[in-house]
Structure 1
Amino acid sequence: MRLIVIWAVVFFIASALATLMLYDNGRVSMVWGDWVLETSLSFMLAFVLAIIATGYFVVQLVMFLWHLPQIVARRRQMKRYSSAQNSMHEGLLALEYGDWQKAEKLLIKSAKYSESGLVHYLSAAKMAHNQGIVERRDYYLREAREAYPEEYIVIGLVEARLLQEKSPSDSVALLKALFEEDPKNAAVVRELAYGYRLTEQWDALEALLPAIKKSKAIVREDLWTLERQLMAGKLTLCLTYDELQTYWQSLAKKYQLEADILAEYVEQSISFGEESGLKELLEKSVGKLWNDRLVYQYGRLSLGPAFERLKMAEKWLQGREDNPVLLLTLGRLACQSQMWVMAQNHLKKSLQLCPQLETFHALASCYEAEGKTSQAALIYKEAIERLEDGSPKLIEA
């Protein structure tokens, strides 16, 4: 609407001037020394407008020619950006198809000309890593650091993740350096925490906990899982039973009944030859929340009458008749109670469900305890054959 009004005003003024000139064309005189130039006002106005238009065109032409190299360079750059974008698109598609070599080639092809060059370098490094070509991976990471020095944090994070599988200690060392540079970076804190967990550096992880909570780098559920793993890991660092007991007693009761923490405590206690109180702890924990690892540990206890533990474990069998871990535990307890047939039946069924070397050993030991050494030898032979071909076989006893 505004444009229409403007054009209407311009048209009105032009019409008024044209009408005025028709009635009186006017005269203009210009004197320069002895020279006198006379012309009509309309011609003079047209001449001035022509001069202005010509001047404007000349100025625009000069400006265009002045900026022409920049315009050409910008168009070339846009063409490169477009080509780089297409290469990135094709590279990511190749990545989805699992063609890492093609993906790497496409991604690195135009990394220097792309607005997202950092993504090109890092993705190409991942592709080289997936192919096991460490030299090219490291080369792409160096190129990324040279081209984008301000992005050292994200480049370091990517490198740490790539190193994590085969060189976890190097990965943690790199993450520690990044953490010293930027201790408030949530991504760095999170990766360092998981690195400590992977390398079982429990004391270092414990020292990092305040930074984890302050930065909120890990969501509450995952943080609780990490803390449980930390407590369980700290138990493995105890060198004596007294040290183990001291740390165990420092834990709150609710933590002591957590399955992974309790399982590690039981494992360590058994390794020190101390089983006092383990039976009650395991029964209480399994009664609240089922856990295969705790049930497995229950079958390894040797303190006190095995028959009592067998009767308790049989209560857990309802609804879990096909649980191979529970069947292994029942088989061990029945064997300790000299209930040979029951023990062998439970162990055979466990082997049918999930053949494990430990279950073979338990079954052979049960036959040996009964005095059937020849039958035990057959079980050992069956275990060796199973290990050689990897195919499941039912045991005929």
Structure 2
Amino acid sequence: MKRRLLVLFVIFAAALALALWLGNFLLREPGYVLIVRGRTELETSLAFLVLVLLAGAFALVLLTVLAGPLWQLLTPASWSHWRRRRAGSLRLQNGLLALAAGHWREAEEQLRAAANQTDWPLPALLAAAVAARQRGDGDAERYWLRNASDFPRGRLPAALLAARFALTDNNPTRARELLDAERPRHGDSPVLLQLLAEAYSRAGDWAAVCELIPTLRRLSLDANLDLRERRAWHARMRQAATQPGFTDAAQRRESLHRLWKKMPAELRHEPQLRAQYAGYLAQLEDGAGALKIVTGELDKRWDDGLPAVLEAINDVPPEQLLTRLERWLQERPGNQVLLLTAGRVALKAKLWGKARSFFETAAQSGSGTAMAELARLYDALGDEPRARDMLHRQLGVQRQQLPSLPLPERGRTSDV
């Protein structure tokens, strides 16, 4: 349409310029024209005759330019093309409705016909791949995806759909191959990056997930992005602390320390991640470092998940740990986490009386774990009646957490 308008504009400008030139020329020399046919004579000026001829020529050209599309529209071939597009649109609609209703075979047949009758068959090809997958026909699924990928601008949608299928089939390696191939051209697609992050997570490549998060945060409004980032760093620290290639604790500890420094600053202040890092340090024979992290964090803001890290510290005198725990207990008397941790550290220090006191205080608050620890301690001290009583109390606490279900009456037996 733009091309035709441009042609009309050029013709009009040329005709106007020629008319002005001829008009100026003929006004100076109007001339004389006499047309005789039989007894009929027509006398006029040359200027008027030239203007009439130019006007007729311009009208003929204009009619030719405008009548061409109209003539094409009225030809049988044009009507056939219109009917073909109309039929393709109806079949695409019917195919999508059948797909939504779960009629997979009917949907695929309708979509197959629509792909051959529409000017833009990509939606029909992708929907046909979904229908073939639901039918369990892998060959047909790959056929439709391949055709969609070959269509102009269809490579990315086909790759995204194939990657979703691969993730559904628990094949993150295949999904990663498909998405990595498209990332250089479509690295700003949030959908592609989210699927890629899912593929990395399924494959256990947490380093790749962490590297992808900043780009996702810039392009995506995913509300679960912060949770995904925390999970990725959590898993990445676990890998660093347990990787089989390192033969001693010092190597794992150094790897974990380097990873901790790479972590974003705001995540290093997450209580769960700090507790995990401190716990790994304690397990890797750096109890002093773990104690420093725990005390530094709890002096700023309290979190019940951190004191339990002290139970895993074996290379710091338990008396020193117990002193710190007792100081916190003075600020938070009755805190069950502190009481339970203090009791276990007291056991490491072989301070049986203190341990029993801590466990008894926690048990009075209803801690089933403290009751179990206390029963074990009573039994080790030879106080079997108290041990049995404490186990009975623990069972009562646990019984309250069980669902309400029918039970046989006491003293009666039931058929097995």
Note closer, same or farther for the CA distance 1:316–1:256 as it changes in structure 2 (3 Å cut).
farther
1:246 pairs, out of 236, 247, 254, with 254
Q: State yes or no: 1:333 paired with 2:347.
A: no
Q: State yes or no: 1:261 paired with 2:273.
A: yes
**Secondary structure in 2 aligned to 1:164?**
helix
**Cα deviation code 1:114-146 (max 9, x no counterpart):** 6675445656766887xxx58247743541322
Note closer, same or farther for the CA distance 1:226–1:286 as it changes in structure 2 (3 Å cut).
farther
Note closer, same or farther for the CA distance 1:269–1:156 as it changes in structure 2 (3 Å cut).
same
Note closer, same or farther for the CA distance 1:277–1:178 as it changes in structure 2 (3 Å cut).
closer
Amino acid at match of 2:291: K
Q: How does 1:60-99 map to 2 (within 5 A)?
A: 67-85=75-93, 88=96, 90=97
**Secondary structure in 2 aligned to 1:145?**
helix
**Aligned match of 1:281:** 293
**Cα deviation code 1:326-366 (max 9, x no counterpart):** 74554343465322322223453xxxxxxxxxxx5564233
Q: State yes or no: 1:155 paired with 2:152.
A: no
Distance 2:208 2:126 in 1: 29
Amino acid at match of 1:110: Q
**Aligned match of 2:195:** 191
RMSD over equivalenced CA pairs, Å: 5.1
**Secondary structure in 2 aligned to 1:338?**
helix
- TM (norm. structure 2) is 0.54
Structure 1 unmatched runs, 5+:
1-27, 31-55, 349-359, 393-397
Note closer, same or farther for the CA distance 1:313–1:273 as it changes in structure 2 (3 Å cut).
farther
Q: Report the Cα offset of residue 264 of structure 1.
A: 2.7
Distance 1:166 1:256 in 2: 35
Q: Report the Cα offset of residue 244 of structure 1.
A: 3.6
Distance 1:83 1:134 in 2: 19
Amino acid at match of 1:160: A
Contact 2:172–2:199 under 8 Å retained in 1: yes
- TM (norm. structure 1) is 0.56
**Aligned match of 1:144:** 145
Amino acid at match of 1:343: A
Amino acid at match of 2:82: R
Structure 2 unmatched runs, 5+:
1-36, 40-63, 347-354, 380-385, 406-416
Q: Report the Cα offset of residue 306 of structure 1.
A: 3.6
Distance 1:135 1:328 in 2: 53
Contact 1:189–1:217 under 8 Å retained in 2: no
Q: State yes or no: 1:178 paired with 2:199.
A: no
**Aligned match of 2:388:** 374
Share of identical aligned residues, percent? Answer: 14
Contact 2:193–2:216 under 8 Å retained in 1: no
**Aligned match of 2:110:** 110
Distance 1:138 1:328 in 2: 58
Contact 1:299–1:330 under 8 Å retained in 2: no
Q: How does 1:1-397 map to 2 (within 5 A)?
A: 67-85=75-93, 88=96, 90=97, 101=102, 108=108, 110-112=110-112, 113=114, 118-119=122-123, 122=126, 135-136=136-137, 139-140=140-141, 142-150=143-151, 151-164=154-167, 167=170, 170-186=171-187, 187=189, 188-205=192-209, 213=215, 231-236=233-238, 237-238=240-241, 239=246, 240-250=248-258, 251-252=260-261, 254=265, 256-288=268-300, 293-294=305-306, 297=309, 304=318, 305-306=321-322, 308-309=324-325, 311-312=327-328, 315=331, 327-328=336-337, 330-334=339-343, 336=346, 337-339=355-357, 340-348=359-367, 363-371=371-379, 372-375=386-389, 378=392
Note closer, same or farther for the CA distance 1:123–1:200 as it changes in structure 2 (3 Å cut).
same
Distance 1:171 1:119 in 2: 25
Distance 2:168 2:307 in 1: 31
Note closer, same or farther for the CA distance 1:29–1:334 as it changes in structure 2 (3 Å cut).
farther
